[in-house]
Structure formats: structure tokens, C-alpha cells
Homo-oligomer: A and B are copies of this chain.
Amino acid sequence: MTDTTPRQRARLETEAQITAIGNRMVDEDGIEGVSLRAIARELGVVSSAVYRYVRNRDELLTILIRDAFDQIADFVDEALAKERSVAVLALAMLEWSRAHPNRWALIYGTPIADYEAPREETVVPGTRIMIALARLVADSAGDEGPTPEPLPSAAALQPLREGLAELGLEHEDAVIMSTVTIWVAAIGLINALRFGQFGPGLDGVEDELMRGVISSLGE
């Protein structure tokens, strides 16, 4: 016997419905298309009623953002389980962005105006992939000996080192620098593709471009 009352079960059900509808609205119309009034309408309920389940629109957005971070990180983890490499990681991100372009924009695009994601809610899921990348870079660092390239001064990397430390990680400066470079290049390419900055006609060559970028970064 579950000691949950019918009302409690109904509440969980409704909460799940709200986030499901919210996710669907993001997929269909982007973040702008997420409307509490429309959700209420779809639930067959008056608009003020949804505020029983969600404090305000921002709270719903936080849920959707956390979900999206976890989904793409899960997807990347699955891909890495088959083969651990930087290229696989980047290609998995690219593939997920193709399948969920609006969710991608939600987490890696312009921050939402007048909204600040609560760090305690989003930092952990939001950093999973980057941590995985740092591990990959660190693992393959020994393969090619010490990097000959001039590193930025240690001071410049200090804030990033601290950020990693908070998550319980420590890496050499060369690893951090390499991770950052690969990260911004991969994200930058995916954003350029998703946001149409290279013009049309690149649909069929996305993976190849990503492979080219990654390989020219020496991984």
C-alpha cells in the first residue's frame, strides 16, 4: 500500500504533465512559445490554477533547462560508453542539437532576458559534458608528450581551475587550456550550424565539418 493520498498522486501527475507540455512547447516554438496560460488551457484549467504547481514562469524554465542539460549529457555518456574519444563526444553533442535544436538553444544560446538560472539547480547537470571532455583530454595527454605551445599565464586559468576544484577535479594547465579550446570550438560550430550563421546548404556535411574542426585541433 502506498500511503500517498489521491491528491498527492494527482499533484505529481499534473506536475509531470506541465513539464511535458513545456518541453513540447520548447520543441515547437522555442522558449518564447512556453506560455503558462497556454499550458493551463491545455490542462483544461483556468490560467491562475497553474500557479498552484509552478511558482512562476521562471521556475518552469529552470526545470526545462535542467532537464535539457541532463538529456544531452545522458546522450553523450551513452555515445562515450561505446567509444571514448573527443570526436565521439563532439559528434554526439552535434547529433543531439540536430534532434532538439530549441532545447540546444535553451542551454547553449543567449541567456533568457530577466532570468538567471539558479546555479545550485543547474551547475551540476550543466557541467557534466565539459567534465567528461576534460577527463578525455587528460587521459590522452600523455600520448603526445608535453605540449610545445606557449600557455597563457597561470593567472588567466586560475578562475577555471577554481571552478573545476569546486566540482572535485584537478587538471594541469595544459589540459585545461586544451579542454577550453576544444569546448569553445565545438560549441561554436554547433551554434553556427544551428543558428544558420554559415547560410543554408550545410545540412549534409555537419558531421564532416565537426570532424575537420576537431582533427585540426590535434585530437
Q: Which one, B30, B177, B197, B217, contacts A113 given CB within 8 A?
A: B30
Q: How far, in Å, is A106 (CB) from chain B's closest CB?
A: 9
> With A156-B205, A202-B159 known to touch, is A177 a contact of B212 (CB < 8 Å)?
yes
**Residue with the highest number of chain B CB atoms closer than 10 Å, among A105, A155, A181, A183:** A181
Task: Give the CA-CA distance A196 to B192 in the complex, in Å.
Answer: 18
A149 in the interface, Cβ–Cβ < 8 Å?
Answer: yes
Copies in the complex: 2
Complex: A215 Cα to B177 Cα, angstroms: 11
* B32 adjacent to A216 (CB under 8 Å): no
> Does A192 contact B201, Cβ atoms closer than 8 Å?
no
Contacts A188-B188, A191-B187, A198-B160 given; does A211 touch B152 at CB 8 Å:
yes
Which chain A residues numbered 131 to 172 have a C-beta less than 8 Å away from chain B? 149-153, 155-160, 162-163
Q: Which residue of B lies closest to A109 (CB)?
A: B110
* Of B178, B211, B213, the contact of A180 (CB 8 Å cutoff): B213
- Of residues 5 to 51 in A, which have CB atoms within 8 Å of B's CB atoms? 29-33
Residues of B within 8 A of A211 (CB): 152
Q: Is there an interface contact between B32 and A114, defined as CB atoms closer than 8 Å?
A: yes
* Contact B160 A184, beta carbon cutoff 8 Å: no
Closest to A188 in B: B188
Interface size on A, residues (CB 8 A): 56
A208 within 8 A of B: yes
> Once the chains bind, are A33 and B113 in contact (CB under 8 Å)?
yes
**Considering the chains assembled together, what is the distance between the CA atoms of A180 and B202 in angstroms?**
13
Find out whether the CB atom of A159 lies under 8 angstroms from the CB atom of B31.
Answer: no
Pairwise interchain contact A217-B215, C-beta atoms closer than 8 A = no
The reply to whether the CB of A91 lies closer than 8 angstroms to some CB of chain B is no
Contacting residues, chain B, for A160 (C-beta < 8 A): 198, 202
Residues from chain B with a CB closer than 8 A to the CB of A123 are 199
- A79 in the interface (beta carbon within 8 A): no
